[in-house]
Amino acid sequence: MVILIVLLSVALFILADLAVRAVIARSGRNRQLLEREAALAESLKLDFAREAKTLKRAEIKDPAARILCVDDEEVILDSFRKILVMDGYSVDTVQTGQEALGLIQTRDYDFVFTDLNLKVPEMDGVDVVKSVKHMRPDIDVAIITGYATVETAVACMKYGAMDYVQKPFTEGELLAFVKKALIRRRDNSQKELTPQVRITHSPETGGGRAGEFIIPGGVLISPGHCWAGLAQDGTVKVGLDDFARKLIGPVDAIEFPRIGLAVKAGEPLFTIRQKRRGAQFLSPVSGRVAKTNLPLGGNCAALEQTPYHANWICVIESDNLDAEVPALRIGKSAVALFQEDLGLFRAAMREGGKNSGRKDSPGDALYVGELGQLDDAQWEKIAGDFFRR
């Protein structure tokens, strides 16, 4: 009887433990879904100017950091340039938030300093903080304010600002603030755990570690997993993103579009081939194909290092960019797209009787060449579901 009671107790304990684990897992999934929905639904003023008319640039070789300053007072911007450039920083300054958002799509910065009380009514300092942290989570944002209160600091920090500096400031105060921020940024980078999807502005990253997916800060991601990098002259570099690159695995050949080809957003643009099978990708923007990266076709292995930056596939002279950019994803929205499609791909693999991931690796992550497990019919379906949309 005692043995029976003990066995019954153990069984009840195991069942209770499994129930608790299931509740925790379900709670984690629900929290993750809520976070993704919040990222997609967040109300932001993502208005930006293609031309930075008030831009003043002071760029030095091997800077300690690259800084963008936004203030409608020219005297404040002059102080930033004078103080920071002499201490070894590259500094861009503009007078409107719209110009700042346009710049962070085409250039990499470590910090954005923005005045809290911008006089331009369309976008104040809080709007700049929210928009920069949404589009470029890899950039640290600091508030410039003449009304530095605890309430102001807390209100800005909940949107992602790291700290605030009060004006008027002395040269020593500004330098001490920036050096402290730089040390904090480096410490955070060293302590960073490997996330599943990571925003970065390092041009050398892209492959990431097993289970990790990279999105360079500032690039736009299409629903069909092409990336689009905007240049200041209105041209757009296009390639396949890290999600597509990892699903496909090693690429054997690229079928480039014809130079001069007129293409609409959502029409076929290029094809990635692996052995006898191909995955067709649709253009993220409309325009005319101006260039193709033919050297990449002779060295497809370069995509295994990174599918971004120098490993673009073609350049499009766009003709409807302002209307089409809102349909693309950037920053947190791009991360949400990757995370959503990771879940959809895992579900598709389970439905097809395939196990996503490897037994020797933790978690339910995706790994390079998962599509190689599939037969031709399954490959075609998955490629259509994720890349031709």
Residues 240 and 387 in one domain: yes
Residues 278 and 157 in one domain: no
- DSSP for 332-350 reads HHHHHHHHHHHHHHHHHHH
189 has a pLDDT exceeding 90: no
Using the 8-state DSSP alphabet, how is residue 179 labeled?
H
33 has a pLDDT exceeding 60: no
Mean pLDDT of 27-32: 57
Q: Could you give the C-alpha distances from 332 to 33, 50, 124, 219, in angstroms and in order? A: 14, 21, 21, 12
Cα-Cα end-to-end distance for the chain: 64
Asked, for residue 5, whether it belongs to a domain, the answer is no
Q: Strand, coil or helix: what is 198? A: strand
Cα dihedral 327→333→335→340 (10° resolution): -80
CA–CA distance, 129 with 141 (Å, rounded to integer):
7
**Confidence (pTM):** 0.70
358 has a pLDDT exceeding 60: no
Residues 180 and 282 in one domain: no
CA–CA distance, 371 with 368 (Å, rounded to integer):
8
- Provide the pLDDT for residue 366: 60
Asked, for residue 66, whether it belongs to a domain, the answer is yes
5 has a pLDDT exceeding 60: no
- Provide the pLDDT for residue 16: 53
- Provide the pLDDT for residue 164: 86
Q: Which CATH number characterizes residue 146's domain?
A: 3.40.50.2300
Residues 174 and 206 in one domain: no
User: Comparing 46-55, 145-154, 317-326, which segment has the lowest mean pLDDT?
Assistant: 145-154
Mean pLDDT of 316-327: 92
Q: Which CATH number characterizes residue 280's domain?
A: 2.40.50.100
Residues 237 and 341 in one domain: yes
Asked, for residue 218, whether it belongs to a domain, the answer is yes
Of 153, 175, 190, at which residue does a domain stop? Answer: 190
The 10 Å Cβ neighbour count of residue 25 is 10
For the segment 248-270, what is each residue's pLDDT rounded down to a tens digit? 989 999 999 999 999 999 999 99
Residues 271 and 134 in one domain: no
Asked, for residue 10, whether it belongs to a domain, the answer is no
Residues 179 and 237 in one domain: no
- Provide the pLDDT for residue 39: 45
- Provide the pLDDT for residue 194: 46
Residues 197 and 174 in one domain: no
Residues 155 and 110 in one domain: yes
The 10 Å Cβ neighbour count of residue 273 is 15
Residues 339 and 313 in one domain: yes
For the segment 269-286, what is each residue's pLDDT rounded down to a tens digit? 999 999 889 999 999 999
176 has a pLDDT exceeding 90: yes
Strands 220-221 and 277-282, sheet pairing: unpaired
Of 150, 167, 190, at which residue does a domain stop? Answer: 190
Please provide the average confidence, as pLDDT, over all residues in the chain.
82
Residues 158 and 249 in one domain: no
Asked, for residue 271, whether it belongs to a domain, the answer is yes
Degrees, nearest 5: CA angle 361-365-371: 105
Of 135, 161, 190, at which residue does a domain stop? Answer: 190
- The total domain count for the chain is 2
For the segment 112-152, what is each residue's pLDDT rounded down to a tens digit? 999 988 876 678 888 899 899 888 888 999 988 876 565 77
E strands along the chain, which residues? 56-58, 66-70, 90-94, 111-115, 140-145, 163-166, 197-200, 213-216, 220-221, 226-230, 235-240, 253-255, 262-263, 268-274, 277-282, 287-292, 314-318
CA–CA distance, 201 with 348 (Å, rounded to integer):
31
Percent with pLDDT over 90 in the chain:
47
| Greater pLDDT, 286 or 348 | 286
Domain residues for the domain of 155 are 56-190
Residues 115 and 207 in one domain: no
Asked, for residue 12, whether it belongs to a domain, the answer is no
| Greater pLDDT, 305 or 14 | 305
